């Protein structure tokens, strides 16, 4: 599934479905979006629970909601990837 950054929310990337929902709420019919790519090989991750990025080493120590995926230890079930914008741009148009 592809994710995109838009000027409506430059901090979070979203799927086209959710960008279109935002466009309808703002009354827009056209919007330029930038494709996002996953960042790998770094010590940071995106926490879906607290809606922030943090270092992997602090998850179990800092977060009271830490819950390992294997129910023993390791990667938290709330951890996700961080994304960065690419050079690929696209224009989204909504049908009236």
The values of phi and psi at residue 64, to 5°, are -75, -15
pLDDT at position 88: 96
42 burial via Cβ count (<10 Å: 0-12, 13-18, 19+): exposed
Residue 30 has pLDDT above 90, yes or no: yes
Compute the distance between CA of residue 94 and CA of residue 96 in angstroms, rounded to an integer. Answer: 6
Mind listing the pLDDT tens digit for each residue in 35-86?
Answer: 999 998 888 888 888 888 888 777 777 778 888 888 888 888 888 899 999 9
- From residue 10, alpha-carbon distances to 4, 6, 13, 14, 20 in Å are 10, 6, 7, 10, 15
pTM: predicted TM-score of the whole model, two decimal places: 0.80
The C-alpha atoms of residue 35 and residue 2 are separated, in whole angstroms, by 7
Provide mean pLDDT across the span 16-22: 94
């Amino acid at each position: 599934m592809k994710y995109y950054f838009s000027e409506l929310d430059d901090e979070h990337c979203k799927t086209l479905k959710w960008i279109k929902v935002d466009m309808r709420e703002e009354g827009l019919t056209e919007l330029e979006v930038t494709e996002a790519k996953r960042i790998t090989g770094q010590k940071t991750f995106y926490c879906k629970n607290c809606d922030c990025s943090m270092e992997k080493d602090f998850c179990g120590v800092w977060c009271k909601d830490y819950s390992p995926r294997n129910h023993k230890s390791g990667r938290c079930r709330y951890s996700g990837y961080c994304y960065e914008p690419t050079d690929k741009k696209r224009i989204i148009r909504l049908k009236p």
